[in-house]
């Protein structure tokens, strides 16, 4: 169970990205995070694995306070939280398999990095993860030789390497075309259903929210303005979330 309590983030330049956000996510839920660009979705996801340091409030993972964890504990917590990015964030000059194995770094001895080695076990795991996203043949290609959809699948394989309890997906389909978007969302769905991995996924398109998520929360200017099943998002709610000038497209 993931519990967010009174989370607030004010950036150094004074921008209030999150303001007193609280919610709980039970294990195994597919939670969609929606809202306009700049409403604080990315900041919220990044506060959970502390890529962004929260200004105030607490985040608990199975009753362990993530916000208070020291360096060593944070490393231990992070390795159980996978993350998928809008721009895939692969190391473009490295091989696909190396990118995937990087997901295992939280478990490997840090000194091993000095000699740039992974264990045979990790390699095996990486090939399995790649098979799962259907890219085992591309293992030895350079990451930048792959198409956008393939790169995002590598990103998912990297997250799978972490044996994650939670996957944070930050607009995973925003830079892909709609056909590919469904393929990526289906991978996330299968991970959610088969591995019982909790997924927090920020999304732009409401039809994707309706189609894949169990529950949605909405942010507007850093505040939580909606929390409930996606089916409850009617026109009135829609205007609350996206502002009064917005038009529904999908």
Partner 1 sequence: MPGSKRSTDTRLSALAENKAKPRKRIYIILGVVAAIVVYGLAVERTGVSLDEITSETRQASLVRIIRSLAHPDLVTYDNEESKTDVEYFVPCQSLEIPVAEGAMISVTPGCAEPGDQVTINGSGFEPRSEGRLEFVPDSEFSVTRQLGRYTADGEGNFSQIVEIPDRPSDNPQLIQAVISKRLGTWGNRVEVWTDSNENGVVDQGIIDADGFTITVAGVTIDIPAVALLDATREVVDFVTTGEPFIAIDGPAIGGGADPLEEDRDGTYVSAISGGAGAVEITISGEEGTDISAWRVAVYDGASGEVLDTAILGDQIELSPRVSETTHLTLEKIVDTVFLALVATTAGLMVALPLSFVAARNLMKDVSTTVIGLGLGLIAVPLGFWLGMEYVGLQRSVLGEPIVNVGILTALLVVGGLIVFYLGRLILFGAENRSTSTRFFRDVAMIIGLAAGLEGLAGLMTVVGTALREPFGGFGFIPGLFATLGEIGTVILPFVIGLLAIMVPMGLATRSAYWLVTNVSSRTRAAVGYLSMAISGAVVAALIGALINWLYEIENPTRTFWIPAAVGAVIGLYIANVGRRRGEVKIGLTIYYIARTIFNTLRSIEPLVMVIVFVVWVGFGEFAGSIALALHTAAALAKLYSEQVESIAEGPLEAVKATGATRLQSTMYAVVPQIVPPYIAFTMYRWDINVRMSTILGFAGGGGIGFLLQQNVQLGLYRAASVQMLAIAIVVASMDYASSRLRQRFT
Q: Is 158 in the site for partner 1 (CB under 8 A)?
A: yes
Site residue total, partner 1 (CB under 8 A): 44
- Min CB(139)–partner 1 separation in Å: 16
Contact pick of 14, 37, 63, 93 for partner 1 (by CB under 8 A): 93
- Which among 105-113, 125-133, 194-202, 209-217 is the span making contact with partner 1, rule CB under 8 A? 105-113
- Which among 109-117, 200-208, 220-228, 233-241 is the span making contact with partner 1, rule CB under 8 A? 109-117
Interface mask toward partner 1 for 30-59; x: CB under 8 A: -------------------x-x--------
Q: Is 193 in the site for partner 1 (CB under 8 A)?
A: no
Spell out the SS3 assignment of the chain: CEEEEEEEEECCCCCEEEEEEEEEECCCCEEEEEECCCCCHHHHHHHHCCCCCCCEEEEEECCEEHHHCCHHHHHHHHCCEEEECCCCCCCCCCEHHHHHHHHHCCCCCHHHHHHCCCCHHHHHHHHHHHHHCCCHHHCCCEHHHCCHHHHHHHHHHHHHCCCCCEEEEECCCCCCCHHHHHHHHHHHHHHHHHHCCEEEEECCCHHHHHHHCCEEEEEECCEEEEEECHHHCCHHHHHHHHCCCCCCCC
Q: Is 108 in the site for partner 1 (CB under 8 A)?
A: yes
Q: Is the separation of the CB atoms in 83 and 49 below 8 Å?
A: yes
What is the CB neighbour count within 10 angstroms for residue 3? 17
Parallel/antiparallel/unpaired status of strands 81-84 and 2-10: unpaired
Q: Is 138 in the site for partner 1 (CB under 8 A)?
A: no
Compare residues 135 and 166 and give the one whose CB is closer to partner 1: 166
Q: What span, in angstroms and rounded, lies between the C-alpha atoms of 190 and 166?
A: 14
Q: Is 79 in the site for partner 1 (CB under 8 A)?
A: yes
Contact pick of 29, 39, 98, 202 for partner 1 (by CB under 8 A): 98
Compare residues 14 and 231 and give the one whose CB is closer to partner 1: 14
Give residues 57-76 in contact with partner 1 (rule: CB under 8 A).
70-72, 74-76
Compare residues 133 and 218 and give the one whose CB is closer to partner 1: 133
- Min CB(195)–partner 1 separation in Å: 17
Which positions lie near partner 1, rule CB under 8 A?
49, 51, 70-72, 74-83, 85, 87-94, 98, 102-116, 155, 158, 161-162
């Amino acid at each position: 169970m993931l519990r967010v309590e009174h989370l607030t983030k004010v950036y150094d330049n004074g921008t209030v990205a999150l303001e007193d956000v609280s919610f709980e996510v039970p294990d195994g839920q597919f939670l969609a995070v929606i809202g306009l660009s700049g409403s604080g979705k990315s900041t919220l996801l990044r506060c959970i694995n502390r890529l962004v340091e929260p200004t105030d409030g607490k985040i608990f993972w199975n009753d362990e306070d993530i916000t208070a964890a020291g360096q060593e504990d944070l490393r231990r917590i992070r390795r159980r939280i996978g993350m998928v990015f809008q721009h895939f964030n692969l190391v473009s000059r490295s091989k696909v398999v190396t990118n995937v194995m990087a997901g295992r770094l939280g478990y490997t001895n840090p000194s091993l990095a000095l000699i740039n080695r992974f264990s045979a076990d990790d390699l095996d795991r990486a090939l399995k993860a790649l098979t799962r996203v259907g890219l085992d043949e591309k293992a030895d290609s350079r990451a930048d030789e792959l198409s956008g959809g393939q790169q995002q699948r590598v990103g998912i394989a990297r997250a799978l390497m972490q044996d994650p309890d939670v996957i944070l997906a930050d607009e995973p389909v925003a830079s892909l075309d709609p056909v590919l978007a469904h393929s990526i969302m289906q991978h996330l769905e299968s991970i959610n259903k088969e591995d019982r991995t909790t997924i927090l996924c920020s999304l732009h398109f409401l039809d994707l929210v309706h189609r894949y998520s169990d529950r949605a929360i909405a942010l507007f200017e850093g505040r939580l303005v909606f929390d409930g099943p996606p089916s409850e998002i009617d026109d009135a709610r829609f205007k609350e979330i996206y502002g009064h000038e917005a038009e529904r497209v999908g």
